[in-house]
Amino acid sequence: MNAHPPKEGRPLLPLLLLHLAAAGVCFAFFTVVPIVGCLILMAIGNDPGGPMFFPIFVLGVLLFAVVITGILAGAALLSDLLRRHFRVSGWWPPLVVFVLATASCWLCFSSVHPVVPPIAGGIVALAFIIHWAAFSTIWFLPRLLF
């Protein structure tokens, strides 16, 4: 006699679509906030910064948003796939991202001040938490509304 009920396979497509939607929200956040902030600071300071400043700034922001969204979406998808197979608490993925980012910063930049790697790890973990919150919100809102 089987003491545990069989695990029902949950479909993977809705999970991937939710992660794609969360990546879109995260990409929009990481592009809109810096560009709007730059426009506000340019209006307050009454200094447009030169003819090529804003196009180059927008291009840099878009490149940064693509890279950071790809990294965060991969980490969130991997952690969510691991959470589907193992019972893992919700606060473990941001903690693991913090530890990995801090350790990689210590390995790559060994000559920096000892405070810099934990700060960099905290910034990466905060960005991951923003992505995780977008995913959780997108996951929760349809259930709340319907």
> What's the pTM value of the predicted model, to 2 decimals?
0.68
Per-residue pLDDT of 5-41, as tens digits, reads 445 556 777 778 888 888 888 898 889 999 999 999 8
Q: Where are the chain's structural domains?
A: 18-145
Angle at the Cα of 89 from the Cα atoms of 84 and 95, rounded to 5 degrees = 110
Per-residue pLDDT of 82-133, as tens digits, reads 777 777 777 788 888 888 888 888 888 878 888 888 888 888 888 888 777 7
| 96 neighbors 108 (Cβ within 8 angstroms) | no
User: What's phi and psi for 12, nearest 5 deg?
Assistant: -90, -25
- As given in the structure block, the two tokens for residue 15 are 């999970």
